[in-house]
Structure 1
């Protein structure tokens, strides 16, 4: 009588990237989780040869936007179907997008609607961040604690954007409830007054060309807002994560805070390493494809972003995928002023390849550092560890198999998002994910999509920090 194979799937012959080493071993998968790691594992019902390839943890993209409620009458190009499909084709197996509450809305209602949008469409597993745009007493007292208990254990706040921005008093209230719930607070750190003041004066002077987008979002505003967010978190003794760090001055403030022992974390994104202010300053409106906030800075900032990655100041590398069609960006015609162009760029499918090419193949970072930036650290900081973010016995079998030498010229026609452009058009990378496995199921096979909408699952996340029920030292003194 023939015995059943030991595993549902075995990945053989690859170089497996573990948290502490890279080893030539096999990966045995059973019931959607990693069941064994070792040489010459018994057979599986299915087998994949990874000879000559790298076996990496599937990416965790902890900052992306999809199927978001309309912003100023416009909707993002990607819903959960195309957004998560694009992610998995780029080697990402878990995403954490945002349920965005604006002034006057119920946060609970927004999250319930977001679940309804995601459930029938997601190809891969997902969590949900809360965007707190109206921290009313009811939201702070009732809605946030209940949603954190349900596994939405992080929230984002904005220091700019009409309809979303919070004043310092409101920020303190959100930080206080996050402290009591053990939740992570992400901060969009730009100085709103600087942006509004400069924008009004540029418009009055008829300086509305694209180049003024970056000038109206000054680097000094990033630095000030980062310092302010850190100061408020220090007062309440609440960990925070500074989102999408773009400017050298902001990196410096975060590094100083870490040196003082504060629990301040930070992320950066491809646009701050592979785009610059020069890409926005074009003779026509094609530079609108690179308009986002904070904007790509002068190239002189890029060495400091790399330094922040290398020394651990910037722990997380996300896409901040915020896909607007170019036709929507320039809906005002050839003279669309900079302040009327929707902020955001696509990047969920190209995130990993860009960093792998310039970081690993560029000799800047190790394979372990790459895996931690793109999977391990976001999983730990947002309550997905140990289920996600690493290859280990007992973890979900979320794996990306890479051809480390494949040379690819990025073009929008090869990508799977619903956006009509990529800002990385024509960029050449070396290293590309050729297979993606989500919970033990092969969903991307070197150009062939094997997934379907609705197979992804909502992942309730753990609280990343112990809830603090006592008073902060300031109040207790």
Structure 2
């Protein structure tokens, strides 16, 4: 089966699913683009998918790859070859990782360095966000317009972590200029001082087990920071996107903002839909609870239901993995003290199969909403649409053909470099059978083409949902 740029490649008998429609069709592909949608299409190479579901390739708009983790030189475990191989096997054809600005570093220098780091090492297409950690005496504000012109229109800002956090004055200054030049600010909303106070109290009582990570970051520290971020957004008249929302009362804050017409958007992740704080163990035992340490932490079943409902109503706009990979071993994920466990869980490869199985097939969301949350709306919000995120004539031929089959997640079967998955033993009912990137088959029968076919996608024209 060939799909070279000089030949036409036809997928026959597809059950095509977009964010708004489901229809039976053939798809004609040429030059990396979808060039025909209809019946009885012919081409140089024809493959019959026998009415299986075909969706746009997933867009994972939040993943951390080859990112420095501390001042000692450590970085996240997955490199671009391993992370993008995992993404491809899981049906994701476009990722947007982060260029981290080190304190004292010019923002444009961080972007250029990271872009060079990725080149010719990715199996899937990619854009790049920036993480802003330093105003650099006003130079960061000067760099933002140029970064947006260069195709890097999204910027993450932290309200927590001592090495990353920005104060409210600087957040206002940053989101104002980002908005003025057509970009979007992504906010990690947790109250840093509340977390520090809670952490000190727990440690003073000798409580160090992984569950204390969740106890030190109760839902109200996310709720307060989310509300404050929305106030800053309103004051600066700038849109924001709240990343990795964990549920509960934070959803209420977001819903109220949206009902008031504020340009506030939100993201959640599979860990908040499927894991709970109980996975972290209890106050006296570790028992592998470090595997589930991420920020915000997983909550409870009630929060999970709040998130599923918010996805149905549009109060949650996108679902990303927030893939952060640290090995489960002593000195890395395994620590004696919860406050030193590196935050984050791996999830690039499992994001789409988990959401399909526990969302669509559990009747919590429709298949169209699945496409909307994981491909179409992230492509729109981050300036990739309609090149990415849909099945339409003229769009990139990024496609996933799905198999309905029972399996169980096992670390041994995944393609990431990190040595565990938080979803070990979790049953699945679907998995990508064929994954196509710009008209070329990159995954077939769980096997990947051994070429780095991924390319940088310059992003522009953000399409923010109505509010």
Secondary structure of 1:295's partner?
A: coil
Quote how far apart the aligned CAs of 1:367 are: 1.4
Aligned to 1:246: 246
In the alignment, structure 1 residue 464 sits paired with structure 2 residue 462:
yes
| Change in 2 beyond 3 A, CA 1:328/1:142 | farther
Asked whether the equivalents of residues 329 and 342 of structure 1 are also in contact (C-alpha less than 8 Å), the reply is no
User: Cα deviation per residue 1:344-370 (whole Å; 9 max; x = unaligned)?
Assistant: 100000000111011111112211111
Aligned equivalents of 2:463, 2:353: Cα separation in 1: 31
Aligned to 2:84: 84
User: Cα deviation per residue 1:404-441 (whole Å; 9 max; x = unaligned)?
Assistant: x2111000011100010000000001111111000000
Aligned equivalents of 2:11, 2:394: Cα separation in 1: 16
Aligned equivalents of 1:326, 1:140: Cα separation in 2: 36
Asked whether the equivalents of residues 222 and 247 of structure 1 are also in contact (C-alpha less than 8 Å), the reply is no
Aligned equivalents of 1:340, 1:18: Cα separation in 2: 43
Aligned equivalents of 1:35, 1:158: Cα separation in 2: 42
Aligned to 1:168: 168
Aligned equivalents of 2:244, 2:373: Cα separation in 1: 13
User: Cα deviation per residue 1:29-68 (whole Å; 9 max; x = unaligned)?
Assistant: 00000000001102x2222221141110000000011011
RMSD: 1.7
Asked whether the equivalents of residues 18 and 372 of structure 2 are also in contact (C-alpha less than 8 Å), the reply is no
Aligned equivalents of 2:366, 2:300: Cα separation in 1: 27
Quote how far apart the aligned CAs of 1:285 are: 4.2
Secondary structure of 2:329's partner?
A: helix
Which residue, out of 286, 293, 296, partners 1:294? 296
Secondary structure of 2:64's partner?
A: coil
Asked whether the equivalents of residues 134 and 140 of structure 2 are also in contact (C-alpha less than 8 Å), the reply is no
Aligned to 2:315: 313
In the alignment, structure 1 residue 111 sits paired with structure 2 residue 115:
no
Aligned to 2:328: 326
Quote how far apart the aligned CAs of 1:264 are: 0.5
Quote how far apart the aligned CAs of 1:331 are: 6.3
Secondary structure of 1:41's partner?
A: coil
User: Cα deviation per residue 1:237-294 (whole Å; 9 max; x = unaligned)?
Assistant: 1111000000311111000000001111000000001111011115334111111001
Aligned equivalents of 2:333, 2:415: Cα separation in 1: 23
In the alignment, structure 1 residue 36 sits paired with structure 2 residue 42:
no
Asked whether the equivalents of residues 194 and 218 of structure 1 are also in contact (C-alpha less than 8 Å), the reply is no
Aligned to 1:470: none
| Change in 2 beyond 3 A, CA 1:174/1:208 | same
Match runs of 1:8-87 below 5 Å: 8-42=8-42, 44-73=43-72, 74-87=74-87
Asked whether the equivalents of residues 288 and 329 of structure 1 are also in contact (C-alpha less than 8 Å), the reply is no
Asked whether the equivalents of residues 407 and 431 of structure 1 are also in contact (C-alpha less than 8 Å), the reply is yes
| Change in 2 beyond 3 A, CA 1:427/1:242 | same
Aligned to 2:224: 224
Asked whether the equivalents of residues 186 and 243 of structure 2 are also in contact (C-alpha less than 8 Å), the reply is yes
| Change in 2 beyond 3 A, CA 1:179/1:330 | closer
Quote how far apart the aligned CAs of 1:402 are: 0.4
Aligned to 1:469: none
Asked whether the equivalents of residues 36 and 393 of structure 1 are also in contact (C-alpha less than 8 Å), the reply is yes
State TM-score, norm by structure 2.
Answer: 0.95
Quote how far apart the aligned CAs of 1:21 are: 1.6
Aligned equivalents of 1:68, 1:136: Cα separation in 2: 20
Asked whether the equivalents of residues 161 and 192 of structure 1 are also in contact (C-alpha less than 8 Å), the reply is yes
User: Cα deviation per residue 1:282-310 (whole Å; 9 max; x = unaligned)?
Assistant: 53341111110011112221111111111
Aligned equivalents of 1:241, 1:153: Cα separation in 2: 13
Aligned equivalents of 1:55, 1:328: Cα separation in 2: 42
| Change in 2 beyond 3 A, CA 1:309/1:5 | closer
Aligned to 1:124: 124
- Greater Cα shift, 212-221 or 70-79: 70-79
Secondary structure of 2:190's partner?
A: coil
Asked whether the equivalents of residues 5 and 30 of structure 2 are also in contact (C-alpha less than 8 Å), the reply is no
User: Cα deviation per residue 1:119-174 (whole Å; 9 max; x = unaligned)?
Assistant: 02111110000111112344334311111100000000000011110110010011
Name structure 2 gaps, 5 residues minimum.
Answer: none
Quote how far apart the aligned CAs of 1:342 are: 0.3
Aligned equivalents of 2:112, 2:209: Cα separation in 1: 40
Asked whether the equivalents of residues 58 and 91 of structure 2 are also in contact (C-alpha less than 8 Å), the reply is yes
Aligned to 1:473: none
Aligned to 1:471: none
Quote how far apart the aligned CAs of 1:332 are: 6.2
- Greater Cα shift, 15-24 or 214-223: 15-24
Aligned equivalents of 1:90, 1:204: Cα separation in 2: 43
Aligned equivalents of 1:343, 1:33: Cα separation in 2: 39
Asked whether the equivalents of residues 76 and 324 of structure 1 are also in contact (C-alpha less than 8 Å), the reply is yes
User: Cα deviation per residue 1:351-409 (whole Å; 9 max; x = unaligned)?
Assistant: 00111011111112211111010000000000000100001000000001101x21110
